[in-house]
C-alpha cells in the first residue's frame, strides 16, 4: 500500500539553530468575494499557481486585486482564467495567487526554505535532482535578492489542490456550502484523514483542497528527501482511507 506524507518546515531543529527571513510577494491574485446570499466576505489562503504568470493574465490583470468583488464578477473572472489557461479543471477560489515570487531574503537557507509553512522553495540543485530521479514536478524560479556577497538560486515547487479530506473528517468539521459563492467553513480536524479516491498518483506533491495550506507528498518524493537528508524539511505520514 502506498504511503503519503505531510511536508513542512523543520521549525524545531533547523528553525531554532538557523535564522532566515524571506519577504516576497506576487503581483496578482483573484480577489476575495463578498456574497449577498450568505453575507460572507472571504478568500482562501494556500491556492497558489506560480506557473501561471501575471503576464499571461494581462487582459484581466486590472481586475486581479485583493479587494472583494461580487459573486457574479468572480464567476466571470474564473471563467476567463479557465479560457486563458485552457484548463477547465484548474481549481480557482477567491484569494488564489498567481505568478513568480519576488522579493528579498537573508539568513541561513537550507536545502528547503519556506516563505511560510505552505510555500516551499528548494535550492535549484535539489529541484534538478528531483527531476533527474523521475519526479514530475512543476517549478518556477523565485526572484530573491540576497546581499551582494551571496548568490543562491531557489525554485518554488507548485502543489495543486487536488486531494480531499475523507468524509469521516468532514462530518463534524464542516458547515453547509453556500450555493452562490461556495463559502464553506471547515475546521481542521484533530486527525486528518485523506480520501484515497482523490489522490492523483501522477503528482508527487499536492495540496488538500479542503485545507490548502496542508501539503502532501507521495512515497517516492518522501523517500528521496529521507535518502538525501535534505535540511529544513520534515515529513509526517498521514492516514489514508477508501
Helix/strand/coil (H/E/C) assignment for every residue in 99-144: CCCEEEEEECCCCEEEEECCEEEEEHHHHHHHHHCCCCCCEEEEEE
Domain ends where: 98, 126, 142?
98
**Judgement on whether residues 92 and 36 belong to the same structural domain of the protein:** yes
Average pLDDT over residues 145-157: 85
**Judgement on whether residues 148 and 177 belong to the same structural domain of the protein:** no
Range of the domain at 197: 4-11+162-241
Q: Write down the pLDDT at residue 148.
A: 67
Q: Write down the pLDDT at residue 168.
A: 82
CA gap 204, 103 in Å, rounded: 27
pLDDT range class, residue 172, cuts 50, 70, 90: low
pLDDT range class, residue 177, cuts 50, 70, 90: confident
Overall domain count for the chain: 3
Q: Write down the pLDDT at residue 173.
A: 63
**Judgement on whether residues 227 and 172 belong to the same structural domain of the protein:** yes
Q: pLDDT digits over 15-49, tens only?
A: 889 999 999 999 999 999 999 999 999 999 999 99
Per-residue pLDDT at 149 exceeds 70? no
**Judgement on whether residues 225 and 166 belong to the same structural domain of the protein:** yes
**Judgement on whether residues 71 and 37 belong to the same structural domain of the protein:** yes
CA gap 46, 49 in Å, rounded: 10
**Judgement on whether residues 133 and 166 belong to the same structural domain of the protein:** no
- Within a 10 A sphere around the Cβ of 7, how many other Cβ atoms? 22
Domain ends where: 87, 122, 157?
157
Range from 125-139, 183-197, 213-227 carrying the lowest mean pLDDT: 183-197
Average pLDDT over residues 40-68: 92
**Judgement on whether residues 50 and 76 belong to the same structural domain of the protein:** yes
pLDDT range class, residue 239, cuts 50, 70, 90: confident
pTM (2 decimals)?
A: 0.94
Range from 42-46, 150-154, 220-224 carrying the lowest mean pLDDT: 150-154
**Judgement on whether residues 86 and 118 belong to the same structural domain of the protein:** no
The percentage of the chain sitting over the pLDDT mark of 90, rounded to a whole number, equals 78
Domain ends where: 56, 71, 98?
98
Per-residue pLDDT at 241 exceeds 80? yes
**Judgement on whether residues 86 and 109 belong to the same structural domain of the protein:** no
**Judgement on whether residues 120 and 136 belong to the same structural domain of the protein:** yes
Per-residue pLDDT at 186 exceeds 90? no
**Judgement on whether residues 141 and 192 belong to the same structural domain of the protein:** no
C-alpha cell at 73: 464578477
Q: Write down the pLDDT at residue 60.
A: 92
Q: Write down the pLDDT at residue 62.
A: 86
Contacts of 209 (CB under 8 A, 6+ apart): 91, 161, 162, 163, 164, 198
The percentage of the chain sitting over the pLDDT mark of 70, rounded to a whole number, equals 98
**Judgement on whether residues 173 and 211 belong to the same structural domain of the protein:** yes
Per-residue pLDDT at 102 exceeds 90? yes
Helix axes of 124-132 and 219-228: crossing angle, nearest 10 degrees: 130
| Of 227, 236, 233, the residue nearest 12 (C-alpha) | 233
Average pLDDT over residues 85-103: 95
CA gap 168, 124 in Å, rounded: 39
Amino acid at each position: 500500500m502506498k504511503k503519503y506524507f505531510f511536508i513542512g518546515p523543520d521549525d524545531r531543529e533547523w528553525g531554532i539553530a538557523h535564522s532566515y527571513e524571506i519577504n516576497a510577494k506576487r503581483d496578482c491574485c483573484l480577489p476575495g468575494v463578498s456574497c449577498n446570499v450568505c453575507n460572507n466576505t472571504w478568500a482562501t489562503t494556500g491556492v497558489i499557481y506560480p506557473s501561471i504568470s501575471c503576464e499571461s493574465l494581462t487582459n484581466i490583470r486590472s481586475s486581479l486585486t485583493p479587494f472583494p468583488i461580487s459573486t457574479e464578477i468572480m464567476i466571470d473572472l474564473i471563467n476567463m482564467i479557465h479560457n486563458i489557461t485552457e484548463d477547465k479543471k484548474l481549481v480557482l477560489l477567491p484569494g488564489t495567487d498567481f505568478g513568480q515570487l519576488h522579493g528579498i531574503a537573508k539568513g541561513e537557507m537550507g536545502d528547503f526554505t519556506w516563505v511560510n509553512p505552505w510555500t516551499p522553495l528548494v535550492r535549484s540543485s535539489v529541484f534538478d535532482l528531483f527531476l533527474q530521479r523521475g519526479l514530475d514536478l512543476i517549478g518556477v524560479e523565485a526572484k530573491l535578492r540576497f546581499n551582494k556577497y551571496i548568490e543562491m538560486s531557489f525554485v518554488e515547487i507548485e502543489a495543486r489542490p487536488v486531494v480531499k479530506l475523507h468524509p469521516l473528517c468532514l462530518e463534524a468539521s464542516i458547515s453547509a456550502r453556500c450555493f452562490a459563492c461556495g463559502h464553506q467553513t471547515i475546521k481542521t480536524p484533530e486527525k486528518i484523514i485523506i480520501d484515497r479516491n482523490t489522490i492523483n498518483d501522477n503528482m508527487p506533491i499536492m495540496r488538500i483542497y479542503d485545507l490548502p495550506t496542508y501539503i502532501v507528498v507521495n512515497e517516492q518524493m518522501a523517500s528521496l528527501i529521507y535518502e538525501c537528508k535534505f535540511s529544513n524539511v520534515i515529513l509526517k505520514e498521514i492516514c489514508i482511507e477508501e
